[in-house]
Structure 1
Amino acid sequence: MRTRIFYVVLLFFLTVAGWSACQRPEAGRAATAPTPAARVLADYRRNLGALDSAVARLRRSVAAGQPVGAQRRAFARARRAYKRIEFLTEYYVPSLAKQLNGPALAEVEAYDQQQRAVPAEGLQVLETYLYPAAYAPAQRAEVLAQLALVHSSLVGLHNAAATFSPTDRHLFDAVRLGVFRIVTLGLPRFDTPASPGAVAEAATSLAALRAAVAPYQVRLAEREPRLAAELQRTFAASLAYLRRHPQAEAFDQLAFLTDYANPLSRQLARAQLALGIRPFAEVRTLRADAATLFDPAAFNPMAFAPNTTDQPTAAQAALGRQLFFDTALSGNGSRSCASCHRPERAFTDGQVKSVAFGGQGQVARNAPTLLNAALQSAQFYDGRVTYLEDQAAAVLADPREMHGSLAAAVRGLAHKAAYRAAFARAFPATRPAGIQEQHLKTALASYLRRELLRCNAPFDRYVRGEKQALDPAARRGFNVFMGKGRCGTCHFMPLFNGTVPPAFERTEAEVLGVPAHAARAAKGLDHDPGRQGVSGIEWQRHAFKTPTLRNVALTAPYMHNGAYRTLAEVIDFYAAGGGAGLGLAVPNQTLPAGRIDFTAPEKRDLLAFLQALTDTTGLSHARPRPW
């Protein structure tokens, strides 16, 4: 009891300290006007207090057993109150943001040998009690317990907020990421999977971003009056569009993206430069100076490299290209990397599972595309390595794939004058040491990072302004993908893989419940353990990395085991609710098991959009002459 009293008293003092810090005036405020950053921070702290109040009102509504309509309205107010602080909370304390608004899915920490499931908490968990149906009266204590956890997270956030010291650069960076979060997570209903408030919340988020930029408007108007007026008009028009179209299911996400969000983020980038506020220069997956998510060079593959400062050179990439197609890397000189990753098939091979070394059976999984493989934080379907360099080494050594080794490959290549010269050009600093294993890995990885990036599909060209690049069916299909289908909540725009926006720092794996055979789905799940075979965590059994959908029209058959031969079959699988929806026992399935009732036209439109993600630039010229 004494211990518990001690922690209660400690929590009280921490809360008071956080509240006091929120109220403490900035040094010198009486003498000078607050800076724009200080004004934004003061607004943040006031909005944090408003979130406290909204959560307290929701708790009173639940405790009093008010009608479900009243509780839902109180919940919606609390959600919108969170959205006013989300852009800075996610920026400075993402761990607390996850506690407050993370997915309603239990997790197991990778280091926990006892594999204890950590229950989810926060606003998304509360949503499951209110939508689609209200909780039973007997569950009221559970709801109140969740609200207590939210309150506890808010105490931590108050204390964290007392340490925030944003600069102009931080604020413009956070606002820019906030715009990207709205279009990649907010409107696609990543954090409102059951409740209807996604568009209203997007409007609240956008209003918060406008308020964060407002303190800079006077200075911007002095320097660039036309840009200042243009930015104000775009904020106003974007908010008006959101408020005119409040229904999430019918919301035209493509129109908002192209006509409002992209122009807004471009204007914010111009305003930042006009104010003399430099973007950050550190290496990030999404470059800090990218004006939109669809800028041709928006993404930096070096963010997922072991050394982020050593940019791949043209000589290294050319060497890697030559090595990729050379059978000398295999154990018997009969196959190359391109044997299973053929350029004309978007670097897949069209097989259910690739032919194993020496023609002896099959490898364990379907060959994934290598296009944009550099833009993810995990390689292989089970995510067992992080870097492309390690992936190359693992494939070379695998007895069912290349059945060779780095050491043997280096010895063989050293006998060829053309390779000795090419390695010397690619790695001049270490020329006296000759060909080295690390250089072989680096060259192959450089080829993928420099030459195998493809983000210029018809869809990309459309959102960059080429209005003839997409036909009406593909435009409708994008809205089905991001809206009714909820595909964009796992295949995140614009990479359409599992690399999570807006920071794009980690790549997710999902449990879909893929059957062993599509035609005999009722026979059971595929036996492949997926991530569980790497981590040992039972809750990750059958979890696989979410692959990119770019060039998906060229990469059949689909899934890790090639179970589905056509995209139409894949759409039907997802529409059925995955394995659980098909009646299979998948207790840890992360894909919602509810059925999606696509109409026949919606399916055709969805297919049209997926085909519009095809970018074959340069693929027909990818095979070099052998040395």
Structure 2
Amino acid sequence: MKILSKYPVLIISFTITVLFVLFQCKNDKHQPINEDLSAVKNEIAKTNVSFERQITELMALVSKNADEKTIQKKFEDLRITYKKMEWAVEYFLPNSARFINGPALPEIEMDEHTELEPEGLQVLEELFYPYTAENKDEAVRFLKKLTNKSNTIKVNFQAISVSKDQVFDAARQEIFRISSLGISSFDTPISGTFLKEMPYSLEAVKRTLQQISTDKSTDKALKNINTSIDSAIAVLKKNTDRNTFDYVNFIPDHLNKISSLLLEFKKQEGIPDIEVTSALNKNVASFFSKNAFNPNAFVPGKEFAFSEDKAALGKKLFNDKILSNSNNRSCATCHIPEKAFTDGLAKSMSLENAELQRNAPSLNYAGFQHGQFWDMRKDDLEGQSSDVISNKEEMHGDMNVILGKINQDTKYLPEFKKIYKTSKAETWQLQNVLASYIRSLAKFNSNFDEYMRGNRSAMTENQKQGFNLFVGKGQCALCHFIPLFNGTVPPNFKKTEQEILGTAVNGNNKMFDQDLGRGKFHETVEALQHSFKTPTLRNISKTAPYMHNGGYKTLRDVMNFYNKGGGKGFGFKVENQTLSDTPLQLTNNEIDKMIDFMNTLYDR
């Protein structure tokens, strides 16, 4: 069976085993387990018993050739049961969670150039919607695998200890998951039952916080959270239609409010921060807070940590032609601030004024990606900067020669000495200051951000409708994850996705673009052929032309391509296309509203 999905390929960025969880618990300064926290574990165990039982019941229905409607109803019940413990499984057993409820696409082991078969609830969804007798054996096989994962949950939660700070952190993470993956239908791209499931995820958070609350009778923060969750659930129960749900107001009115109240609960309970560097800062009210993201979660090591001094020095060098071989080109030549750090060309030009292979990507928010360049050939911005400088077609610079100049420069050398406490500038330091400047380019001050922070005049009615279409009917948030609007997967932000869209040479959509993208570096991995990084949509109104080849001149060209179902929709043979080939059936008016919304993502 060939399994397709609406999602880009997900890449394993780390593997977590029971031993890791035990090690983490041992080394963090956690409170010893107590009766209340035992209650938390008991609740997970109880839910998992129901989960395993429902798997068995569903397997029996499939084996007895039950009708499609009966099977789908039982499957929806099974998903709801998982949602009741999702907060814990995703947090404590993330690797297992990937194979319980991850996208129905192969997991790629990059170092070995191999693919792991997808499994779990999303694979089963593809078998059950629609369901035919031809899918019977495969459905039973994957249900048996899911039983094994249920046993993994049982064994692990018997072995590990949990602490109050961990449980709180997991509950908070679940709210962020709901605010991004949950609300975008990431888990249920075919059935679209996510709005029906979300109340159960919220109830699980509510119940968990009650279990770790010190004094429920006087806990004002807990009461406020309960009230807010109940209010959110009431809204969800009124409308479960993905195409008409009011996402643009539900997020700030309910989800952001809940995440903000969690901080009050944390303070009231005296819960300490988890001592782990994470992409989201520990004490931000929501995804959309101006200081929500921590750039140091994306650096290659502690010595590369971001600082304003590094960024300021990096800005000077970014605009200095000293980095090129002939002192005739700077980074700013191809990354123009007024064009959101692109060059406005379909394809960038070489030093010899010849067209290069691809479009210059925006550097805005590039610091929040694991994988640089369209083909993701470099893991981080430090590697990206040296690759560009040394590329003979782009800058043709020599790092040793450049460092020789810098170390004799009375303007630059003192700054390097001050920042790094060394006698001279080194290669990694040059890379780091340039990367630090690029990390500083994420402003998070668009009209959309303002609206999410409570300024109801920041977006027009058309733009609000456009956002609802973006998340709902248009399904854009399945790949361009809120709030970064790129392929870095929330709420952990530990991996960045790439997609296979079936992109054409240009907006006429007559000829398939043969660029292998990331597949060039993994020739034996079919799932990576013609794949490209999912870029951010922030500042997209300034980054035309679009796609990796710059072949799409306008956002309407891009939207027409997606509306048709990508390359497959235009008749291209792209067997590994990760974008759904089902036409979106968006009207011209709806597309106009979506483009109008995307204009709100421009940093002011």
- TM-score (ref. length: structure 1): 0.88
The counterpart of 1:171, out of the listed 157, 167, 170, is 167
The counterpart of 2:532, out of the listed 544, 553, 572, is 544
Q: What is aligned with 2:128? A: 130
Q: What is aligned with 1:366? A: 359
Q: What is aligned with 1:315? A: 309
Q: Distance in 2 between matches of 1:111 and 1:316?
A: 32
Q: What is aligned with 2:550? A: 562
Give the conservation status (yes or no) of the 8 Å contact 2:206–2:225.
no
Q: Distance in 2 between matches of 1:141 and 1:310?
A: 51
The counterpart of 2:399, out of the listed 399, 403, 406, is 406
Other structure's SS at 2:215 match: helix
Structure 1 residues 177-186 or 411-420, which shifts more? 411-420
- Asked if 1:474 is matched to 2:472, the reply is no
Structure 1 regions of 5+ residues with no counterpart? 1-17, 19-32, 617-627
Q: Distance in 1 between matches of 2:330 and 2:197?
A: 51
Q: Distance in 2 between matches of 1:314 and 1:151?
A: 50
Q: What is aligned with 2:320? A: 326
- Asked if 1:437 is matched to 2:424, the reply is no
Q: Which amino acid aligns with 1:140?
A: K
Q: What is aligned with 1:266? A: 260
Give the conservation status (yes or no) of the 8 Å contact 1:37–1:166.
yes
Q: Distance in 2 between matches of 1:404 and 1:185?
A: 42
Q: Deviations over 1:417-472 (max 9, x none)?
A: 22233333333x10x3x2322221121112122x3112110000001011111111
In structure 2, relative to structure 1, the CA distance for the partners of 1:582 and 1:78 (3 Å cut) is same
Q: What is aligned with 1:339? A: 333
Give the conservation status (yes or no) of the 8 Å contact 2:210–2:216.
no
Q: Which amino acid aligns with 2:267?
A: L
Aligned length: 573
Give the conservation status (yes or no) of the 8 Å contact 2:37–2:212.
no
Q: Distance in 1 between matches of 2:428 and 2:53?
A: 57
Give the conservation status (yes or no) of the 8 Å contact 1:397–1:406.
yes
Q: Distance in 1 between matches of 2:108 and 2:292?
A: 33
Give the conservation status (yes or no) of the 8 Å contact 1:220–1:274.
no
In structure 2, relative to structure 1, the CA distance for the partners of 1:165 and 1:401 (3 Å cut) is same
Q: Shift in Å at residue 108 of structure 1?
A: 4.1
CA RMSD of aligned residues (A): 1.8
Alignment of 1:588-603 (within 5 A): 588-603=576-591
Q: What is aligned with 2:15? A: none
Q: Shift in Å at residue 530 of structure 1?
A: 0.7
Give the conservation status (yes or no) of the 8 Å contact 2:279–2:297.
yes
In structure 2, relative to structure 1, the CA distance for the partners of 1:517 and 1:599 (3 Å cut) is closer
Q: Shift in Å at residue 570 of structure 1?
A: 0.4
Q: Deviations over 1:82-137 (max 9, x none)?
A: 11111100111112111111111234432345x4x433211111111221x222x2
Where relative contact order (Cα < 8 A, 6+ residues apart) is larger, the structure is 2
Q: What is aligned with 1:10? A: none
Q: What is aligned with 2:36? A: 36
Q: Shift in Å at residue 309 of structure 1?
A: 5.8
Q: Deviations over 1:9-52 (max 9, x none)?
A: xxxxxxxxx9xxxxxxxxxxxxxx95322211111110000111
Q: What is aligned with 2:502? A: 513
The counterpart of 1:456, out of the listed 445, 448, 462, is 445
The counterpart of 1:530, out of the listed 510, 517, 542, is 517
Q: Shift in Å at residue 480 of structure 1?
A: 0.7
Give the conservation status (yes or no) of the 8 Å contact 1:346–1:554.
yes
- Asked if 1:56 is matched to 2:46, the reply is no
Q: Deviations over 1:356-397 (max 9, x none)?
A: 0132x1222111111111111111111111121111111000
Give the conservation status (yes or no) of the 8 Å contact 1:286–1:300.
yes
In structure 2, relative to structure 1, the CA distance for the partners of 1:600 and 1:518 (3 Å cut) is closer
Q: Deviations over 1:144-197 (max 9, x none)?
A: 112111112212221112123111101110011111111211121111011131
Q: Distance in 2 between matches of 1:504 and 1:105?
A: 19
Q: Distance in 2 between matches of 1:269 and 1:193?
A: 32
Q: Distance in 1 between matches of 2:144 and 2:428?
A: 53
Give the conservation status (yes or no) of the 8 Å contact 2:304–2:432.
no
Q: What is aligned with 1:101? A: 101
Q: Shift in Å at residue 591 of structure 1?
A: 0.5
The counterpart of 2:144, out of the listed 135, 145, 148, is 148
Q: Distance in 1 between matches of 2:306 and 2:223?
A: 42
Identical amino acids, percent of aligned pairs? 35
Q: Distance in 2 between matches of 1:221 and 1:368?
A: 54
Q: What is aligned with 1:21? A: none
Q: Shift in Å at residue 220 of structure 1?
A: 5.3
Q: What is aligned with 2:481? A: 492
Q: Which has the larger radius of gyration?
A: 1
